[in-house]
Structure 1
């Protein structure tokens, strides 16, 4: 690979290796060539027909846009940049970028991996097999890039950053498209004012109940043991898999699954007790738990990182009896 030095310690990619298809344009990005080659291999980008240079350009854009996962005032060094890139979901990212570029091999792989999960998710969202298949089909069309801008096909997959799972990102897009469709059709549906009864007033959360719920959540999370807070943050906020968490804790995946299930059940019971002890009836407490999370002024990640409980227990480094 031909390279030209751009800054001390960095190499500028100017041409892809012989193994990589040459892109239609010469895309350059100031990234260490060995790091990009490592990431290209880890992403299995060749199987998606994505060139090393194309992946490098995508990585450069993602890193610059998010300041490599650091606060805006921090200037990341080479090591921090490398850590950020290695933490991305590289196979998902390469697949999404290749699909956005219209690569046939990538689309074949995408349909094999995601067609069934997308359809199942769409049916679950709409509550109807017919509507679910329609929603899934409309998403496929959108992802393929029917929409054009300045004569060029545009696909939402180009905006995927690799910071969460591609399947989770697709489910979010599905849900949003379902909401958009519902709002659009609701506005377009003609109403016969003589037959339509006056709609009941929309209930709004009481500030007192919202405050009690926020306080109950804060009190509950702050007193959790370190391992429980780690499990919640890893699984629900960082979207790590059971396998990844199990490797960190040196236990079996089944153990992690049971721990998370017991923990979420226990948290709900504890929140109900806290709300009832704060003066709410059992029914009011149940209704409070169904409040829109956007009404709560809480930083869940901060609460999980701050605790008055004891440090992480050494027992997590030993596998439970069910480990295989």
Structure 2
């Protein structure tokens, strides 16, 4: 069983605290094997949302013993984060823990020196302040979350859900992460590179915008879709689609399609006995050779190794 500690400081916001509790503290989904043991760690008298007192038997000292530490957003943006919280997070990382932050929790990680020389994100409203205060951090205010292996950071609120589900996906596979997402009634996957907000929403004539187009494409991953096919469905030129698509998702239509096909392959490898050749056709990648090439690039291991990992219930470790 993997231990997840939530490092709660005075002023932690209620919504961001509830996100990891809902994901990691939920009942074990079918097919997950082992699950998480969640501990909310806080100093006595800590407040959540300015009014709710945190009563927990777990102190911040216990953060250092967890395998995964999640730092939710807090109000310590103008001033420095509490030293005891920074020390606890740094000690956990030194012991080999995976550290994640939601929204302004990134300021705690930065104060602990964990983001120096790394790419990281936070809520776009606070990205400039994070970059100004910690110039050694490569702050990317455009994306939903950043995965640096042992350090993960996310933007605000809903992006925290995306990050937590991403960690479940890394630990237990796509099928289990999708089951948790269905329980929470949220989208099963939004790529970390997707934009935090859409400055110029894509509206297709006769439709409801980009979400309709993406849903249409996901239902047809087995087909040899092209940018021209997507543009035709969106009723705009391929060039115009590409420009708006990148604004909305942070990637190109073909890159997005490839990512969806790889994720579909992950789920089929976890849940079916189909051969790699059959899965390649089901995902629109044509041949097993093509699937293996793209899968290894995206996931870091071949499809057969991925299947063995999740069938055995062990945690996938991507080569670095």
Say yes or no: TM over 0.5: no
Q: Larger Cα Rg: Structure 1 or Structure 2?
A: 1
Give the TM-score, by structure 2 length: 0.26
* Bigger strand fraction: 2
More helix by share: 1
